[in-house]
A and B are shown apart, each in its own frame.
Chain A
Amino acid sequence: MIRIAAMFITIAAATATGQPYPPLPDSRVDITFNRFYDYDETTAILKQFADKYPKLVKLESIGQSHEGREMWLATVTNFATGSDRDKPTMYIDANVHGNEVQGTETCLYTIWYLTRLHGHNEKISELLDERAFYIIPMVNPDGRAFWFREPNTPHSSRTGHRPTDNDSDGLKDEDGPDDLDGDGFITGMWQKDPNGRWRQSKKDPRLFERVPRHEKGDYNYLGGEGIDNDGDGRINEDGSGGYDMNRNWPSDWQPPYIQYGAGDFPFCFPETRCIGEFLVDRPNVAAIQSYHNSAGMVLRGPGRKGRESAYPRADVRVYDRLGETGENVIPFYRYVVLYQDLYDVYGGFVTWGYEGLGVFSFTNELWAASQYYADSREDWFRITNEDRLKFADLLEFGETYRPLKPYNHPTYGDIEIGGFTQYAFRVPPTFMLEELCHRNTAFTLYHADQMPMLKFMNVDVASIGDDTWEVTVEIENERLIPSISRRAADQKIGPRDALTLVGDSATVVASGTLANKHLASVMLTKHNPQRIWVDRGIGSHATRLFRFIVTGSGEVTLTYKSAKARDIKTAVDLK
């Protein structure tokens, strides 16, 4: 929080020249954050960013979805200060579940904010000069297109759209929901029944409630709108697609009989595969954020209890600092562990990021129903449908609800169709979208800011004999995230850090790591002493001490290389 506060003070200082607040430029891309953008619109906006900010944004497609849409990747950094490959980089994605749409707008907001303020705000400038961002706003572009184009329920449709046989009858996607009343939404089917298990809600007759046992109701719920397209006696049991790409990542991947939707093998879908290959090939990725909806959560792994041991304590402390800051930056959101507070997940992206790649990784569940009423800190799951409907009436003028209307169903006969639309549960009302985008962006940029940043604190040269020198080097990591996570060190993920000393007329005769500045005990490097391997990197806000014993004279160069920090270099004279 201190750093975030410092950021606002910086802005405030810049405004202290007598100009009205804030003297910040408009974006070169004209975009508003009070509406959602479908696949085509998002594509057009991304192209505009690349066009209007060519020095900061590169747009490329890293693959095609099953239906042939592009997998857009925006690389955002100040290319004049170095390639993304040489900078610690934060990976951000959204919308792996087709219906979890607002993460895409959040990604667009992040690009919009970074590009607009680079060169005008100190922190944002540093984030693009010293760090980079890989942003994939639509992991499941077919799912996004489907959500905007096709009628959906309040909770559909998560899947990608590779045809899949969900009911094991040998046919694929042959019995999905049908928009029987033609209103553009899949709502509920209800039927009057003197022995029904439902009745109209006492608080609001437009809604239904289950009747308690031993009481009689007068309605039955028949499921989402649809007919038995394939004549097998079941309705809507095999719709388009029917799998979950966020169960298709390699860490703790389990087959579909253990984890629904996992696919036949990790990366069996073109969308997950291209991202998987991209990330395996990018050791510079040092932070990961994925946007989902909903429930107001900042989530980390493990995905089940049995995997706790994959999260060493040193890393959990870093995670906690990041997550707790998230709770402050985004009110109504809780920082939670996936399996403890949500449900068991095998093969999720957030767990692969950390357990597989050794990178601190979060999934945010954007939007919490508790935000309907700003004075409420109640958990989202305490918000009732009556609360939602009241809110829909007062603040959205009824837009997210469709009243029940009679319908003659081919199987059921006389029924009624109606209920909440796909805008009711998981996405924020559009007038609240911008704040959602900003707060989540702010948390993500805080996370990005905490990627390792190394510097030489002290380099001391002491003479210990004729032309013989003791060079003591102190290196500091100024940020929260260690240059090698404990997970990566334990599992031997990626290259080790290394410190080298090289001089034209100098020879390193011994070197090592010092446990303590004042005691002379040196852990000696075994071979090739001019290079010290640093298996655990430089820790969270930590300093480490190294020593070289050098003979010779003149200038020597010290270089510290780390996959997840910018390489640092300094020169000293042996004198």
Chain B
Amino acid sequence: MNQRSHWWTGAACIAMLTSTPACVTAQSGFAGTLAQLERDHDGLVTVSEVGRSVNGQALAMIQLAVDGPIEPDERAAMLIVAGMEGDMPASTTLATRLVGELASRHAAGDESVNKLLTDRTLYILPRMNPDGHTISESSPRQNHALNLRPWDDDRDGVKDEDGPDDLNGDGLITMMRVRDPEGEWLSDADDPRLMRKADRKKGETPAYKLYTEGIDNDEDGEYNEDPAGGVDLNANFMHGYIEHGQHAGPHQISEPESRALIEFVLAHPNIGIVLTMGRHNNLVHIDSKDKTDDTGKAPIGLHKDDVAIYKHIAERYKELTGIEEAREEPSAGAFYAWAYAQLGIPSFATTVWQRPTPEMEEPESTDDDAEKQKDDKPSKEKNAKKKDKLKNERAWLTYSDQQRDGGGFVDWQPFNHPTLGEVEIGGFVPTFQHTPTDDDLAELAKRHTDFAVDLAGRFASVAVTKVEVEQLAPSLFEVTVGLTNDGYFPTGLAIADVNRRVKPMVISLDVDRDRVVGGDKFHKVRRIDGSGGHREFRWIIQGQPGETVTFTCKSHKLGDIEKPITLKETVTP
């Protein structure tokens, strides 16, 4: 930890730029929340800066650990990353509340939490994309998933020159619909607030074009085609990275935010579990397809021998968080996918929440269409997707109406647009679908904390459970040492056998090489299964009766074990 500069100096500078100079002591917003956590839980919560965003905002890493016999950076650790997507500030709130929740449970004397925070370390990066959050949350609010790397989306030689504009001044960037014979969209018959693509083959005539709210700032005929930024930080990592993908960045780890995170991870080989909070959910959608990519060597999803572990944890996850559904999002370039596939450690991704199911009637119109299309598979899938999208939007709208006082949707209102003429502005409120209510968040924080505690209780835990010494000759001894893993996870997943990225445990006796008559001087061991997995190691060494030799097992992930062994006389000369 000593290499990290103090986090709040940077945060305070940014705060000074955006608010009043008096904020150096009275930090507000996110920086203030972290400062408060650190003050309230002195000795448990430590915050440090691990990097800066494109716009220079601090990336704050929280360390949760109680003083113990082993330094926090030497203990097996779990890393939680949130706020990678700029349009999901709720994930940051959730991760921050999770820290508060753990700290409170610790203060209240919760035994399992105390043991966890003494034996293990938690690192939490709650807000990886502060610039994206700033854009999404300040007025006008908008969905801004990306970071703020300037980017020439429309390849006209100018960067970020045509973003959305809040034309009606309601503080929200929503949509514009314009009556246009070249349009593709219809207002849905069941709920005319919703827009869907028309199907001319069914005799539907489209009426509208849809745009994001804004004007053609650069007068090139396109609307809002080159907004601020950016790169999707959660698509900027190596596994499955899409070269020249739309928001993938100029290359892998091209962004200061992704680079800060990967350098932190590489500098902390003690990290043995990763949990991300954002748009992916690999516990609802377990990728068990058992396929390799086009190199023929890299598994695309999970290694087949790791699937059972993920399934087991998924059950517990659903039970503890109550989350059973999530949108399936592509994992190309995602951080969690890299941590599993290339770092070789258990890595999980959770969505922040699941929309409470509203009470709604199924509109009748749709089911028989699928029947008719059944011979035409691609178009059937496409239609199904279209239908899902509409169904999903309908559910969001019903939820907004029933449980959020209609606060999730802005009704279409006429507006006189400078170049498009008569338009209507309206649509879903930005970030609404990613933002639970405050009450929901409180409950979600508790549930995710339960899950995090459960996960962090599953580290491999290896101990010496057997030592046998047999004297074979006056100065020749056979030494057998057994190691048992009483944790849940194996010391290395099946993927780690493939990618060789987790360093093996190095097992040896501290005797000179020429005294080792049988057995390897060093045993390198990648895998001892969890739930009582056992491995034994045997040496024949030269030594004197009564002499003590030391058995060592060194591991980056689990710490080191030392055990003195006395070469006892067992044969009478």
- A-side interface residues toward B, CB under 8 Å? 165, 168-170, 231-233, 250-258, 264-268, 276, 280, 304, 306, 346, 355-356, 491-496, 498, 526-528, 533, 561
Contact = CB atoms under 8 A, between A and B. Distances in A.
Contact of B243 (A251, A257, A304): A251
Interface of B: 152, 155-157, 219-222, 238, 241, 243-244, 250-254, 262, 266, 294-295, 297-298, 342, 498-501, 503-504, 506, 512-513, 520-522, 524, 554, 556
Nearest to B342: A255
A254 B156 CA distance: 32
Given A232-B521, A355-B243, A528-B220, A257 B252 contact: no
Given A233-B520, A265-B252, A528 B501 contact: no
B49 to A, nearest CB: 21
A356 B250 CA distance: 8
A316 B500 CA distance: 37
A231 B219 contact: no
A381 to B, nearest CB: 27
Contacts of B266: 264
Interface centre among A254, A265, A306, A495 (most CB of B within 10 A): A265
A254 B241 CA distance: 10
Contacts of A267: 251, 253
Interface of A is mostly: loop
B252 A266 contact: yes
Contacts of B262: 264-265
A505 to B, nearest CB: 21
A276 B220 CA distance: 32
B506 A257 contact: no
Contacts of B554: 170
A257 B250 CA distance: 24
11 contacts: A168-B500, A258-B295, A265-B253, A266-B251, A266-B253, A280-B250, A280-B254, A355-B243, A356-B243, A494-B155, A496-B156
B503 to A, nearest CB: 5
Contacts of B501: 255-257
Contacts of A494: 155
B251 A495 contact: no
A170 B506 contact: yes
B522 A169 contact: yes
Given A231-B521, A254-B295, A528 B252 contact: no
A233 B295 contact: no
A13 B554 CA distance: 75
Given A233-B521, A265-B262, A495-B157, 13 more contacts: A168-B500, A169-B506, A170-B554, A170-B556, A231-B512, A251-B243, A254-B295, A255-B298, A257-B501, A266-B238, A280-B250, A496-B155, A498-B156
A518 B521 CA distance: 84
Interface of B is mostly: loop
Contacts of A496: 155-156
B221 A528 contact: yes
Contacts of B252: 250, 253, 265-266
Contacts of B521: 231-233
B511 to A, nearest CB: 11
Nearest to B520: A233
Nearest to B513: A231
Contacts of A170: 503, 506, 554, 556
A255 B520 contact: no
A480 B503 CA distance: 51
Given A255-B342, A306-B295, A250 B251 contact: yes
A535 to B, nearest CB: 8
Nearest to A344: B295
Interface centre among B156, B222, B244 (most CB of A within 10 A): B244
A38 B81 CA distance: 46
Contacts of A527: 219-222
A304 B293 CA distance: 14
B450 to A, nearest CB: 33
Given A264-B262, A306-B294, A168 B250 contact: no
Contact of A492 (B155, B156, B499, B506): B155
Contact of A232 (B298, B342, B522): B522
Nearest to B237: A265
Contacts of A491: 243-244
A233 B513 contact: yes
A159 B456 CA distance: 39
Contacts of A268: 253
Contacts of B294: 306
B238 A253 contact: yes
B503 A256 contact: no
Contacts of A266: 238, 251-253
5 residue pairs, one from A and one from B, having the closest CB atoms = A527-B221, A250-B251, A491-B244, A495-B157, A231-B513
Contacts of A233: 513, 520-521
A168 B295 contact: no
Contacts of A346: 295
B258 to A, nearest CB: 9
A409 to B, nearest CB: 15
Interface centre among B220, B221, B253, B524 (most CB of A within 10 A): B253
